Amino acid sequence: MNIPKIAQYREMLSKYLKPQRSRVLILAVLLFGSIGLQLVSPQILRFFIDTAVQSGTQPYLTPTLPYPYQPDTTQDQLLLAAIIFILVALFQQGVSIVAVYFSENVGWTATNMLRADLAMHCMKLDMSFHHVRTPGEMIERVDTDVTQIANFFSQFVIMVLANILLLVGVLVLLFREHAVVGLVMAGFALLTMWALNKVRSYAIPAWAASREASAQFYGFLEEQLSGTEDTRASGAVPYTLRNFYRLLYDRLKSEQHAGMMNVTILSVIVMCVTVGTILSFILGFALNQTGLVTIGTVFMFVTYTNMLFRPMREITIQIQELQKAGAGIGRVYELLNIETKIPEGPGKPIPSGALTVDFDDVTFSYNNDETVLKNFDFHLQPGRVIGLLGRTGSGKTTISRLLFRLYDVKHGTIRLGGTDIRDATIRDLRQRVGIVTQDVQLFRASVRDNLTFFDPSIPDERILEALDDLGLSGWLDSLPEGLDSRLRSGGSGLSAGEAQLLAFTRVFLKDPGLVILDEASSRLDPVTEQRIERAIDKLLHNRTGIIIAHRLATVQRADEIMIIDKGTITEHDDRVKLASDPNSHFYHLLRTGLEEALA
């Protein structure tokens, strides 16, 4: 487990608390004020008890008097002490409530900033990272691990300092009353802190193991729930449940071990406080018997001794929270330290308009496994459309992933418009390339936001024009709020054709120089497919196009045909020429049927 260094704690506090300086300062004032009020209360109680004991032989007030209090100095003092004690207690509670509000506000603001940074970092990592981690595991990392750090941001430093101040304040007041009592209680406090320090170092690995077990469990759960239909259809339910119970058992054991660490720490402090309370009673009794202290002072000794328990308990809790935070911070830094394998380019511009596409001796494999593309070479002129054909696994979709730099090639060069895609910024590259796939990702958001990817700079006029070109104006008119109508996550409530047409609209709005259609019409029925034929023609007008397809109708608009088999080009030429050449593979595919021959 990656145990964080002190510098990492300091760096994280500085980065996420500096923007909240004023709230942190107010929180500090509230907590230190609460400490001061806690130190005052036992003094008021001592005064009350000693005053009451001294006046114990005086007669009680009779209830028949016409006014509530007898004009007696001692009883006025008692009444005043009681009122002050109640007001101090109420004020302290009020301060505590406000402090909790500011504490939660500071903690959640800081952790939400950290969550945003983690989410952005993960989005920038290459696909090889995401392929080895499940969404459930990433949710655990970005949310649950960060939640463990909330108290570290909101209270740790201030609470530790405040409770150290309370601890020192109690000991100073005890020394002022009697040096022996102060020395004994100081020794008791040092012994307690030493004992706590001895046991606290065991908890960080335990909490880290607990968090890892939780991440593994939620990753498995997300994976199984997303594949419930296949699991049930294939009879794999017993296997799934067996692994479910195994991961639950692993999580239980790790949680039990982490819990035992907490119980051990709490047991040590309770034992030490019990010893301290016994000592305060013995010392108070002995001093009172010799006439050195009053009954009220003995009560104050016991109260202050119990108050010593509070800062030590709070410091212990903060240490436990730090241990939990340490596990979370370690995992957060472990994630943040993962560098993308797709470095940002220096920013060489990609030309506007239709783009040339060049693959120059490209070789690529996923995770150093079997090579997917081998010495791949081809050139596509701007404004031309090429149809890519090949069996599943031949490398067609890999070409589109490489053009987007979701992965980088192992060997060779890919150029768009003459620019090596590694020299362009990733943002510029992905703005100049548009893609439509058979799987459309729609968000729980308005139609407008789904089409613009939350870009407010795109005017409604452009959106409406694109929808009209695709024949979706009637569909939009049927929605109760037009572009403001909210879609459900995953496109629930839309037909496959409607979802696909919305994906085409996104590309229209992007206005790229290269358009990739990756099996884009494979889910559409013939009637819906006919609706987008005119829109595709317009989309490909004055743009370079790559069409990855199995269906014959889809590649009829291609200028060129490329057939790929096991990562190599087996045939590449003009479509009309290949279609009329009896010796070409494409010629035989047309007569055999693309769907059957390439299945």
Q: Where are the domains of the chain?
A: 6-336, 357-597
pLDDT of the residue at 63: 38
Q: Which two tokens stand for residue 131?
A: 């392929």
pLDDT-derived band at 596 (thresholds 50, 70, 90) equals: very low
Q: Is it the case that residue 159 has pLDDT exceeding 80? A: no
Least confident of 385-394, 529-538, 577-586: 529-538
6-336, CATH topology level: ABC transporter transmembrane region fold (1.20.1560)
- Between residues 143 and 564, the one the model is more confident about: 564
pLDDT-derived band at 211 (thresholds 50, 70, 90) equals: confident
Q: 290-299: which pairs have CB atoms within 8 A and are 24 or more residues apart? A: 292/178, 293/177, 293/178, 294/46, 294/49, 294/50, 294/53, 295/49, 295/50, 295/53, 296/45, 296/46, 296/47, 296/48, 296/49, 296/50, 296/53, 297/46, 297/50, 297/177, 299/42, 299/45, 299/46, 299/49
Mind listing the pLDDT tens digit for each residue in 48-65? Answer: 888 887 765 444 333 333
Q: Which two tokens stand for residue 198?
A: 């001895």
Average pLDDT over residues 465-470: 81
pLDDT-derived band at 522 (thresholds 50, 70, 90) equals: low
Mind listing the pLDDT tens digit for each residue in 255-312? Answer: 888 888 778 777 777 777 788 788 888 888 888 888 888 888 888 888 888 777 777 7
Q: For residues 363 and 244, is the Cβ–Cβ distance under 8 A?
A: no
Q: For residues 258 and 152, is the Cβ–Cβ distance under 8 A?
A: no
pLDDT of the residue at 429: 92
Least confident of 12-26, 59-73, 115-129, 403-417: 59-73
Instruction: Assess if CATH 3.40.50.300 describes domain 357-597.
Output: yes
Average pLDDT over all residues of the chain: 80
